[in-house]
């Protein structure tokens, strides 16, 4: 289970970021509020994560700004 990531944002899209952690890129779906807080400049960015596996073999990683938000999401 992936529950926390800290790394550099290497790409931003309308509903997700790609976060590089130790040379591995994670696609993390995030809210518009989190996207608004991100910058294009390199630097550590951290998210608490919820990994969702669906019956149709889809695996998605959702990023939240705090542990409290993660508990509410789950």
Q: What is the pLDDT along the chain (74 residues), one digit of tens a residue?
A: 899 999 999 999 999 999 999 999 999 999 998 888 877 676 789 999 999 998 888 999 999 999 999 999 98
Give CA 64 to chain center in angstroms: 7
The two three-digit tokens of residue 29, written as one number: 């779906």
Count the helix, strand and coil residues of the chain and give each as a percent rounded to the nearest 5: 20, 50, 35
The model carries a pTM of 0.86
CA distances from 30 to 20, 51, 55, 67, 69 (A): 15, 12, 22, 14, 12
């Amino acid at each position: 289970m992936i529950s926390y990531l800290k790394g550099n944002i290497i790409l931003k899209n309308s509903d997700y970021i790609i976060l590089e952690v130790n040379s591995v890129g994670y696609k993390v779906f995030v809210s518009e509020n989190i996207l608004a807080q991100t910058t294009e400049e390199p630097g550590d960015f951290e998210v608490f994560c919820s990994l969702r596996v669906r019956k149709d073999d889809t695996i998605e990683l959702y990023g939240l700004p705090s542990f409290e938000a993660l508990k509410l999401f789950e």
